[in-house]
Amino acid sequence: MTDLIDSPCHDSLDSLRSAAMRALAHWGMACREIKLIKHRENAVFKVINEAGRAYALRVHRDGYHSDAALRSELQWMAALQQAGVDVPVVVPASNGDWFMRVAPEDGENALQIDLFEWLNGMQLGTSEGGLGQNVCDIERIYRTIGNIAARLHNQAQQWTPPAGFTRAAWDAAGLVGPAPLWGRFWALETLSLSQRALIVEARDIVRVQLAAMEEAPDHSDYYGLIHADFVPENLLVDQSVVRLLDFDDAGYGWHLFELATALYFIRDDPNYPIARAALIAGYREHRSLPDAILAKLPVFLMARGFTYLGWMHTRQGTETARELTPLVTRLACTLAEEFVAAHRAGHGLP
């Protein structure tokens, strides 16, 4: 885990810290030190117990995931760990449950809280920091991302989820349906009339493309459980071990959506072609990705851009949205211009 604190979006920190402290009793743990690490959709605290052992404790935003969905997330993480994919190790509560519901002292709703073994290491990289000029580093980072993504998809294709397993779907409905998972992105208040028209046109093209892909006979070969937030920040390096973090967005989706997520924020970088080639090469070391399927990557880059617009739309007024909406809008609209122009010209997808 890293010592990065994101701009908080929901719930008071005092309330979340109160719930975190109260939750530790369910793990039979007394806290010597607690420190906020991250606060966005959930709050992550570094907890050090009386014996000096460190853990990562996660306090979830009320109502973000159902109990069944959170339990499913933790079950998949445990299955990945057993399959040799390095992910955080879940620490069950004293009663064996994957997580507990604990109310803060102020009497608000009980919040979902889970605990993980602490991971040492450093982030593999950052999206907003750019790729830099070291070609070897770029190739190493994105080949690693491709490797791990492919291994994760292989495990998911071979694994039978337990009864009651449920996660959201990043499918056509979840991405470009009437009620997308992250909100009606075309309704973002800060879009101009021309930008909104452009985004709607691009949305309709993506909708047609995804519908066709979902009807294809080989659909299941390229669709399944995905992490859905495969960015360098979520890969933690500790010597030769690289671990994948933050399964909060995990669900069912296209494998190409996974790769699009890894590439989206670096499209403007001069070394983007190097990163893209390394990502694909790394993926193909462990899993098949035919050129005919890869040709659809622009569809998923566009869909990824929509999700970020939707995220901003549903969080207007927060510090994070105020800071990031201009960037997210510029990236999505620039891509939409290319995407729509290629479609209009009949030249295929960009």
The Cα 309–Cα 152 span in angstroms is 27
Q: Copy the structure tokens of residue 69.
A: 């969905």
What's the pLDDT score for residue 348?
Answer: 58
Query: Domain ranges in the chain?
Result: 13-119, 126-345
Right CATH for 126-345 from 3.20.20.10, 3.10.20.30, 3.90.1200.10, 3.90.700.10: 3.90.1200.10
What residue ranges of the chain have pLDDT lower than 70? 1-11, 106-108, 127-129, 347-350
- The answer for residues whose C-beta is within 8 angstroms of residue 318's C-beta and 6 or more apart is 7, 9
The Cα 253–Cα 1 span in angstroms is 26
What's the pLDDT score for residue 349?
Answer: 59
What's the pLDDT score for residue 133?
Answer: 81
pLDDT tens digits for 82-115?
Answer: 999 999 999 999 999 999 999 877 666 889 999 9
What's the pLDDT score for residue 106?
Answer: 66
The domains spanning 13-119 and 126-345 adopt the same CATH topology: no
The Cα 23–Cα 208 span in angstroms is 47
What's the pLDDT score for residue 3?
Answer: 32
> What CATH architecture does domain 13-119 belong to?
2-Layer Sandwich (3.30)
Taken in order 7, 12, 18, 23, is the CA torsion positive or negative?
negative
CA distances from 101 to 43, 63, 212, 240, 275 (A): 14, 12, 42, 36, 42
The Cα 191–Cα 181 span in angstroms is 20
Region of 307 on the Ramachandran plot (φ > 0 left; ψ -120 to 50 alpha; else beta)? alpha
What's the pLDDT score for residue 1?
Answer: 31
pTM for the structure as a whole: 0.91
